[in-house]
Amino acid sequence: MAEDASGRTTRGRWILRLAIPGALVVIGVMAFAIFEPIQVLPRIRLGPGFSLTDQAGAPFTSEDVRGDIVLYSFGYDDCGDRCAGMESTVTEVRDRLGEVDLGDVDIRFVTISLDPASEGPDELTRQALRVSADGEQWRYVSGDPDHVENVIRAGFRTWYEPRDDGSVAFDPALILVDGWGVIRGEYRYQTVASDADKIIRHLDVLGEELRNATGAATVAYEAAHFFLCYP
């Protein structure tokens, strides 16, 4: 029995729907073959939302840095060499930003207190002054202890444990988050290259993606993510 026009139209639509995903894959593979030198930072997972208070006593939330690249770190007053090393790395990255091109995207630095129960604006200000953190590009923040614990442990997946003597045991970490709130880099262990060198190199890769992943080149960058072309 002959198939009517309605049946042929419906079948044609289904064929088209099935063909489009396959065509996109082919285009992505072709684009990757052409633009193979492209490297991207991994999209690790979504970073946490938060509502905290900075060293000036002003509210500071994750929405305040939406659209900016943020390098997060963690510490507390008088924590010794571990915090000194972290602060030194962040300071070096801040001072070397002229080496990377992030286009019109700003970069911020945020240090979250590991001792929020006892660190308010005065304590945060003392720490910020030590590294010339201006309260705008680099903020020291604290807040409700339960909320801070959830942000650090569950959100950033960074371990820390307050001790009875007032100190805090923790694994030093630096977390790089892009303007969409996606974690793009985690720096938890010292490598052969210094952490600052590695972060600067990764910022350069991220900046190149932000500047160039537009129009037809978007497909090439998505292909690079698909094929895990990480530096």
Per-residue pLDDT, averaged over 177-187, amounts to 97
User: Helix/strand/coil (H, E, C) string of 99-130?
Assistant: HCCCCCCCEEEEEEECCCCCCCHHHHHHHHHH
CA distance 62 to 130: 24
In whole numbers, what is the pLDDT of the chain averaged over residues?
Answer: 87
Per-residue pLDDT, averaged over 186-213, amounts to 87
| pLDDT tier for residue 191 given thresholds of 50, 70 and 90 | low
Question: Does the pLDDT value for residue 33 go beyond 90?
Answer: no
Q: Which of 184, 135, 179 is nearest to 156 (CA)?
A: 184
CA distance 217 to 223: 10
Q: Are 106 and 149 in contact (CB under 8 A)?
A: no
Bridge partners, 108 (sequence order): 70
pLDDT tens-place string over residues 93-130: 999 999 999 999 999 999 999 999 999 999 999 999 99
- The two structure tokens encoding residue 158: 């960074």
| pLDDT tier for residue 150 given thresholds of 50, 70 and 90 | very high
| CATH superfamily placement of domain 45-208 | Glutaredoxin (3.40.30.10)
For the chain, domain boundaries: 45-208
Q: What is the pLDDT of residue 226?
A: 87
Q: What is the pLDDT of residue 201?
A: 96
This prediction's pTM: 0.84
Site of tokens 């193979």: 36
- The two structure tokens encoding residue 142: 């604290």
